[in-house]
A = this chain, B = another copy of it.
Amino acid sequence: LRRNATAQLQKIISRTHPADLAYTFSSLTPEQRQSFFRVIEHTDRERAAEVLSELEPGILVRFLEEVEDRKLVDILEVMPPDDTADTLDLVRDEERRDKIVAMMRTESQAETESLLAFDPESAGGLMSTDYFALEQNTTAQEALEQLQKEAGEAEVVFYLYVVSEHDTLVGVASLRELVRAERNRPLKEFMIPDVIRVRVDTDQEEVARLIARYNLVALPVVDDNNRLVGIVTVDDIIDVIRSEATEDMLLMAGAGQEDVSRYNSVLFSFRTRWPWLFPSFLGGILAMLVVFDYSHALREMIPLAAFIPVMIGMAGNIGTQSSAIVTRGLSLGKYDFVELGRVVLKELVVGTLLGVSYGVLVAAIAGTLFWQQDTYDSASPLIFAGTIAASLLAAMSVAATLGSVVPILFKKMNLDPATASGPLVITAIDVLGVWIFLAIAVLMLGL
């Protein structure tokens, strides 16, 4: 870049929101990213740190691989400690991570190390140590003065936390209440004493649940001795809610614990996905035995085999629909528990209607095709078509019912309904679909 162009660029950089600067990274090549970042860092190191925190994890992982250790340390040191820990979590090479932590200034080193020690999926792993807390005997006037003096601009202040002389959390006041209070009243007289709080080891799903249920903007985190050690803010929770949804989706797709927010090795993916395919494999083997059992029927009427895929496919798909709808409805609290019977009944009715409609279609096709094949098989095309239609109808209504019942049963047994919607239901449906089809065929065609 020419000197002039760089100056121009620096002007633009200082006027653009870090989140927007981070967004432009996605359209640059890795080399361009490094040089663009150098310009940002040269303009304003704190801004560079903010841009880094806003990068998409996929881009950040790659970017961190190529940035020099020394430069990374300089940037990490101007970041809030929780962002530093989150960034270091994405340095895949553990040796390099340790080396970088060792290069940091002693104070930020200690703080970063203590944050890295928390489970990233706990309140301790999510929390920021940048909060505003005052002792309970502070007056409103003193509190306002403190607020005016406070230097850090990193996180917006939402609540004023009130602590005892031993740093234990005793109350909370909103800035609005602070502004409204008489100037010489101590905090303890107008604070709200019952503060919803979590411990450092509280699971992130529980943290998300509390923030969503009580419509909070921030939630204080305390240690074993009830001492205030950090806050979790709602913007971190948005990410948790997203990853919870991801977990449900992967369970439903039978991809188990594969964690999309990280880069996993091929071997790791193989090991996590293998067991999730096993029920499907067992189902396939069971279906195979069912078909073997009916091979005399197939021998007499080969075209029957051609309808196995459509039976399995349609039953599997309608079962997936039903279980996805019911599972998601359960996790969003859509259903009133006293009326779950109605939910299943509705799925059965919808499944039957869809089964009738597709049954007619498949019968028309089967009849037409079979008409041409009648030279070498025995049954009349009409009975054959009717058999196919009846089987499809039966398989689809059973699949819809099963797809809705199983998640509800799982929920009642306190298991995650998303697990039920995955390969388990589909496998059961595969086997039942084939069996229903062949049993009806033998019965109706007299094979």
Q: Which residues on A are within 8 Å of B, measured CB to CB?
A: 17, 19, 23, 26-27, 29-30, 54, 56-59, 61-62, 144, 147-148, 156-158, 174-176, 179-180, 212-215, 217, 233-235, 237-238, 241-243, 245-246, 248-250, 252-255, 258, 260-261, 266, 269-270, 273-274, 276-277, 280-281, 283-285, 287-289, 291-292, 295, 298-299, 302-303, 305-314, 316-318, 320-321, 323-325, 328-329, 332-339, 346, 349-350, 353-354, 357-358, 361-362, 365, 369, 421, 423, 426-427, 430-431, 434
Contacts and interface: CB of A to CB of B under 8 A. Distances in A.
A332 B260 contact: yes
A277 B318 contact: yes
A316 B316 CA distance: 10
Contacts of A323: 253
Q: Which 4 A-B pairs have the closest CB atoms?
A: A284-B310, A253-B324, A245-B245, A287-B309
Contact of A336 (B58, B269, B280, B325): B58
A362 B430 CA distance: 17
Contacts of A434: 309
Which among A217, A273, A299 has the highest number of chain B CB atoms within 10 Å?
A273
B235 A245 contact: no
B179 A147 contact: yes
A402 to B, nearest CB: 15
A360 to B, nearest CB: 12
A259 to B, nearest CB: 10
B58 A242 contact: no
Given A288-B310, A305-B291, A270 B350 contact: yes
Nearest to A305: B305
A277 B317 contact: yes
A323 B260 CA distance: 12
Interface centre among A30, A156, A369 (most CB of B within 10 A): A156
Q: Is the interface of A mostly helix, strand, loop or mixed?
A: helix
Of A175, A212, A299, A357, most B-chain CB atoms within 10 Å: A175
A325 B255 contact: yes
Nearest to A174: B156
Nearest to A157: B176
Given A292-B303, A346-B269, A357-B274, A250 B328 contact: yes
B246 A249 contact: no
Nearest to A278: B358
Contact of A303 (B157, B295, B339): B295
Contacts of A423: 317
A53 to B, nearest CB: 10
